[in-house]
A and B are shown apart, each in its own frame.
Chain A
Amino acid sequence: NAGVMQNPRHLVRRRGQEARLRCSPMKGHSHVYWYRQLPEEGLKFMVYLQKENIIDESGMPKERFSAEFPKEGPSILRIQQVVRGDSAAYFCASSPRSVGTEAFFGQGTRLTVV
């Protein structure tokens, strides 16, 4: 059973380009969480998704950021028109049900905006 898989591991984008970060949860997990770790800062919650539903997006910036978790395929975190301040490590975690379970994290995607 592979763990939470994120790709790419490293992503370099020029200012104004789009960044797409992918997260494949562990097998049997239907809950996905995205977290962002800015340089020299702690992890912050961004969004919580279940299959085809956004449950809580209270941590998402209001503009340029979107997330989805389709019925088939990985969860995608999309950042449009990236700026230097978007440079960070983005982590995905998954769980099999909503409460009472361990947090399983991916290796993260390190986004660098140049």
Chain B
Amino acid sequence: KNEVEQSPQNLTAQEGEFITINCSYSVGISALHWLQQHPGGGIVSLFMLSSGKKKHGRLIATINIQEKHSSLHITASHPRDSAVYICAVRSDRFAWEYGNKLVFGAGTILRVKS
């Protein structure tokens, strides 16, 4: 079993829909990242969370440390949101020593149709 599991693997939505992508992890963590990757493109950091909730524009990320679960929400989705969304965690084991070494989920492929 992977340490970081994402669901769904693939998601197709109509423009304007509210989207939720889920991430569950099995290790103790010091931080969780949500990343975005466009086809053939680089990786952009959307959020870094260690507790609670963060919002940036139409994107909202939440984390529940006790349940080891995080969600990424996109409100009023748009075709330009089409990308792969990746959840990554930084283990709290030897965090000071191993820095920002990340363990990644497999990614969720999102396609928003107009």
Q: Which residues of A contact B (CB under 8 A)?
A: 31, 33, 35, 41-45, 48, 55-56, 91, 93, 95, 98-108, 110
User: In the complex, what distance in Å separates the CA atom of A61 from the CA atom of B90?
Assistant: 21
> By DSSP majority rule, is chain A's interface helix, strand, loop, or mixed?
strand
Residue from A35, A42, A104, A110 having most chain B Cβ neighbours under 10 A: A42
Q: Is B18 at the interface (CB under 8 A from chain A)?
A: no
B42 partner, pick from A48, A55, A98, A105, beta carbons under 8 A: A105
- List the count of A-B residue pairs having beta carbons below 8 Å apart: 78
Contact yes or no, B96 A98, CB < 8 A: yes
Q: Which residues of B contact A (CB under 8 A)?
A: 30-31, 33, 35, 40-45, 48, 86, 88, 90, 95-107
Residue from B90, B100, B102, B103 having most chain A Cβ neighbours under 10 A: B100
Contact yes or no, A48 B88, CB < 8 A: no
Minimum C-beta distance from A25 to chain B (A) = 12
Contact yes or no, A102 B99, CB < 8 A: no
User: In the complex, what distance in Å separates the CA atom of A110 from the CA atom of B40?
Assistant: 9
B99 partner, pick from A43, A44, A55, A110, beta carbons under 8 A: A55
User: In the complex, what distance in Å separates the CA atom of A42 from the CA atom of B100?
Assistant: 17
Contact yes or no, B100 A33, CB < 8 A: yes
